[in-house]
Structure 1
């Protein structure tokens, strides 16, 4: 695979993810972190598009100036460093919003100044021979061009070291996908720092009369793409991981509510919509299941027997001494008995003898009650007892 193809493929991936994040930004236009993520991804994609040697030649031809692609790429790389640091500033969070704004302004001002200096130094220097892969070493001793090269590398090194230190330090304080994302960014920043070291070595070798150009043209070149992809991926891992974790949690809750939903299915009003298809959003399916359960519970309310609930609650509490779990078992037993009582046309319980169901007030309690319906031997005993009474009546 050619360098141009590899760079374009990487740019395509980043652009697709950028479009996905822009869609999310449309719904949350004031989210500073989302704006910074979009900026990071887009500038990263632009960096891949412009940095491939075939594209460098096209940029030079478009402008009609040899090597003008170099300051353009250096400016894009500097902008990429700046938005990465800004994103980390906002991502890290700070109780002092004014301090966060000051840090953001300082970072952007410094890197904009570097970009302006890169352009100025290029215009002051003389680089008439087009170099697509080895400009940094070929012009390492050329006045102003030399300073331009050192300046962009210095700015890149500061960003790489800053991000590596911050991410390693922060990763020790956070768990899960955020920690994985920070470690990925740290790996990308470390690769960027190694890129800079290889470039510095090759340039200093030129200053001393030696030739280690391969460190810059081959070793460092291969690290550049890896570094940018790792940094971009690191910023994407936490939101993707948190989203996947949230959806998995909703799926688990949806599945655990199934025993309760099946238990009261006969009482779900016919006017309620049919269960959504599996491809629909999990949050909508969970919401529908919870709504169906609440509607059915309201219809079963007149058949909730307080004596059943009190007995099961006392037995469960005596066994495991967990009040919420005991309450869930009691509520589950009352529902199991009420379903059978209504199905067998037994009379409703008088208002003063009705059990007040509380496990529907909290999603966790609702899941706990559903688990009791599926596993509790006391609930199974109440179900058998209610069925026996119903068959006799």
Structure 2
């Protein structure tokens, strides 16, 4: 691996840390925030100090040959420990048990790092080996033991974390926690790569103990990319449950905002006399979707006196008869009723066109799974905002305007989607059809 193969992921992780730092600082007393900080920082540091140019530069600046290897070992040990600590707090459980296990892992890691330092100080490693230190010094006293300790600790931690993540992801298979499960499966892959890294290194070191360097390629060329990818995926795996729901929320808000466009535009003449609400240009997508839903709801209130209860009831029965579920039939009926009201009712201040009334009759809804119903022809009269007539079953609606039964951002988005599939010309029903009914 060349220097850029290390520096690019190190830079990406450093950027992620800078972006995440304000929120981490805000919750700096949280063990999870502290663990996330250590994971990202240790991953970035491990990449930066493992790059061959960095190894040579650090060794030259400190005057200690191969000290960069010690630094990388310490970084990766901290990464493994922080991953385990974050997993413990992420999974939860009795507070005393979580705190006890956290302290145990931190203490064990501190002991391992201290042992690294002692063994490195006792070793004699005059030759600078930026790429093959593990195999070159595998049989050298003290540093050889440091290498074995590092690989053993790394393999043990990877196995424990991988097993816990796999078991937890299996428990979440039936639960509605997809982002958490995807994060856990990513961590299983990440620590699987870490375990593979340790096993490949062990194999190469074992070959050196056997007196051959034929397997050095496993340590120098194959294992490092696995470790780099594993460290990067570890960071990604822990960030997925944090970032994923936010991205999903933004996508849902954008989708709802776009879906509400047809209904929002069609109701423009029914804005009313109130001053329009304004939001900042930097407002979130959720805020924009909420504002659009609020404006639609206000405009529907102005249109409500002109909605036909009989039309809605007949449309809902027709949609249900076509096999739609109750909720879907309700949305289709509301959309058809709104479209019919807009087609034959003038906005405030406009000349009143003739409005058809009478027995509702089926009318085609372009692209919809069910057919909306439109009122058939009858003697024309101007619309009046008064109590709607009884439905086809003779049930009289309550006093006042006919309310819309769909609410909320997602509900209005679906209403608008069905509304956009109904063309005004689809609501023109032949009088002969009405008479035949």
TM-score tier, shorter chain, comes to 0.7 to 0.9
Higher Cα radius of gyration: 2
**Equivalent residues in 2 for 1:332-351, closer than 5 Å:** 332-339=335-342, 340-343=344-347, 344-345=351-352, 346-350=383-387
Unaligned 5+ segments in structure 1 are: 386-393
**1:290-312 Cα deviation digits (max 9, x unpaired):** 12112212333444444444444
TM-score normalised by length of structure 2: 0.75
Counterparts of residues 144-183 of structure 1 (less than 5 Å): 144-172=142-170, 173-174=172-173, 176-183=178-185
> Structure 1 residue aligned with 2:270, among 267, 272, 281?
267
Select 2:302's aligned residue among 273, 279, 299.
Answer: 299
Partner of 2:366: none
Task: Indicate the SS of the match to 2:212.
Answer: coil
Taking the aligned partners of 1:253 and 1:31, their CA distance within structure 2 comes to 35
The unaligned stretches of length 5 or more in structure 2 are 353-382, 389-397, 430-437
What SS does the corresponding residue of 1:66 show, helix, strand or coil?
A: coil
8 Å Cα contact 2:267-2:296 kept in structure 1: yes
Q: Deviations over 1:281-337 (max 9, x none)?
A: 422321121121122123334444444444444444555474433433444344345
Q: Name the CA distance, whole Å, in 2 between partners of 1:31 and 1:255.
A: 38
Partner of 1:365: 411
- Report deviation, 1:8: 1.2
Out of 187, 190, 205, the position equivalent to 2:189 is 187
* In 2, Cα distance between equivalents of 1:144 and 1:88: 33
After the TM superposition, which of the residue ranges 242-251 and 313-322 deviates more from structure 2? 313-322
User: Is it true that 1:285 corresponds to 2:288 in the alignment?
Assistant: yes
Partner of 2:259: 256
Q: How far did 1:231 drift?
A: 2.6
Instruction: State the alpha-carbon separation in 2 of the partners of residues 145 and 54 from structure 1.
Output: 22
What is aligned with 1:391? Answer: none
Deviates more, 1:45-54 or 1:159-168: 159-168
Residue 105 of structure 1 corresponds to 103
Q: Hey, what's the Cα distance between the residues in 1 that align with 2:300 and 2:242? A: 37
For residues 229-252 of structure 1, what are the alpha-carbon distances to aligned partners after superposition, in whole Å with 9 as ceiling and x for unaligned?
233333344444433333332233
User: Match of 2:224, SS?
Assistant: helix
Matches within 5 A, 1:306-321: 306-317=309-320, 319-320=322-323
| Offset, 1:275 | 9.3
Structure 2 equivalent of residue 389 of structure 1? none
- How well do the aligned residues superpose, as a CA RMSD in angstroms? 3.3
Alpha-carbon separation, structure 1, partners of 2:129 and 2:115: 21
CA distance in structure 2 between the partners assigned to 1:30 and 1:347 by the alignment: 63
Give the Cα–Cα distance (whole angstroms) in 2 for the partners of residues 376 and 323 of structure 1.
19
The total of aligned residue pairs comes to: 380
TM-score (norm 1): 0.82
User: Hey, which of these two has a bigger chunk of helix by percent?
Assistant: 1
SS of the equivalent of 1:133 reads coil
Distance (Å, rounded) in 1 between the aligned partners of 2:310 and 2:206: 88
